[in-house]
Amino acid sequence: MALLKRSFDDVYKTIREYFSRIGSNAVNISGTPENAIAHFTANEISGLYNSMDYLAEGLNLSTAGGIDLDTIAEQYGIVRGMSSAAADTSKTNVKFYINPRYSGNALDLAASVGLSGITIPAGTEISDGGTIYYYTTTDIVFGEDKDALGNPNYMAVFANVVAYGIGDGYNVNAGELREHNLKLDAQLGGIANQINVTNLLPITNGSDYESDEDLRYRISKSFTTNAQGNRNSIIAAARSISGVSGALVVDNLYGTGTFGVFVDSTSPVISPGIISAVQATVDAVKSAGTRAFVLYPDYVGLMIKYEVMYHDETKIEQTNTDIVGKITDYVNNLKRGETLFINKIENIIFGNSNVKNAEHKFWKSGSYDVLRQTIDNSVTLMPVDQTIGLTEKWFTSSSLIEICQV
């Protein structure tokens, strides 16, 4: 809606009324100087009003668009999201691994076709089975990664991958990338069926170009007052970053004058990029003389094992995939500090129509190292509801859940 509005007719009417008040009718007669001046003046003045309307719309959050809206966003430290390809360069997520049914490791498999080792070449395609494709960005070699004991890992190797296309349509959930094209490789074609691939965690950083509507909404969520450094503005600053769902402020975390901001993400694991973006935004609004530390939650890894009896043993793999996926979704969607309920997990297992019976073998938890994908200082848990602190968050993945046949 225009803030200022005066049309040509409005201005021309005002000029005619002025001439009428001073007793002149010449303005109403076509061809007179008064009539020409009135038309010219009305046109110029109404044009100025139209320009002012345009400028006013560009300064108003509810009506601005394009570059004007970008300028408003910059005043709040917000940048429009650009389109990007989904990618994972952590080398801790996308895993090529030797088929568990194969009796040996990568060296044994390589020797069976006269090779000294197995190299997954750059450009290898992986997909969800036909609609979403990624490719590896570098050569990777079985044995270049280390196992939990620090020895070369000849059973699995992690890859960096990038989606072939742009946008959030290429984002994938955990376990969706499960096929590769190694059967077309001249050296590995004969053993490709013994090499599997999976993504342990979702890949959700593919994005479309942010629309005016979405950017306007992010701006409206951000700083609505000029208050600096208070708790609400710190949380608002953190939440203004795309991918952040919440934040907890802890005063005096490392002594007087310091505070911590524990960030919650829309993804199971927070990326370093989000941490950096929140740090920069919080630094811009914090009080002078204070120091902010933006931190990951303290991830508590959950490792469980159940032995299961099945009704239909031809559907074991499908059943296990369904159970592991649902347990992973439940655990990783728990909010920071939220209690983990044993009955929720057992309902997933016993609620599967192909499960005849199941027995808990162990539950373990400990400090989860996201980069190394290991649980440090693990302890055995009783199969009862588990509580954690406000700065802690539960985490698990398919590599930490074991569902096996009795």
Beta bridge mates, 394: 300
Supply the pLDDT for residue 147. 84
Residue that finishes a domain, picked among 244, 270, 295: 295
Under-70 pLDDT residues of the chain: 1-5, 54-59, 221-229, 256-257, 288-289, 370-372
Query: Domain containing 181: what range?
Result: 87-199
Residue that finishes a domain, picked among 295, 310, 343: 295
- Computed from CA positions of residues 333, 339, 345, 348, in that sequence, does the dihedral angle turn out positive or negative? negative
The reply to whether 137 and 164 lie within a common domain is yes
The reply to whether 235 and 335 lie within a common domain is no
33 occurs within a structural domain: yes
The reply to whether 291 and 307 lie within a common domain is no
CA-only gyration radius of the chain, Å? 31
Contacts of 117 (CB under 8 A, 6+ apart): 106, 107, 110, 141, 142, 143
- Counting the structural domains of the chain, the total is 4
pLDDT tens digit sequence for 152-207: 999 999 999 999 999 999 999 999 999 999 999 999 999 999 999 999 999 998 98
Residue 211 identity (one-letter amino acid) = S
The reply to whether 195 and 231 lie within a common domain is no
The reply to whether 100 and 159 lie within a common domain is yes
Cα separation, 22 vs 72, in Å, equals 47
Residue that finishes a domain, picked among 258, 273, 295: 295
Cα separation, 357 vs 376, in Å, equals 31
2 occurs within a structural domain: no
The reply to whether 128 and 140 lie within a common domain is yes
CA distances to 84, 280, 302, 312, 331 from 352, in Å: 38, 46, 21, 12, 18
68 occurs within a structural domain: no
| 0.85 exceeded by pTM | no
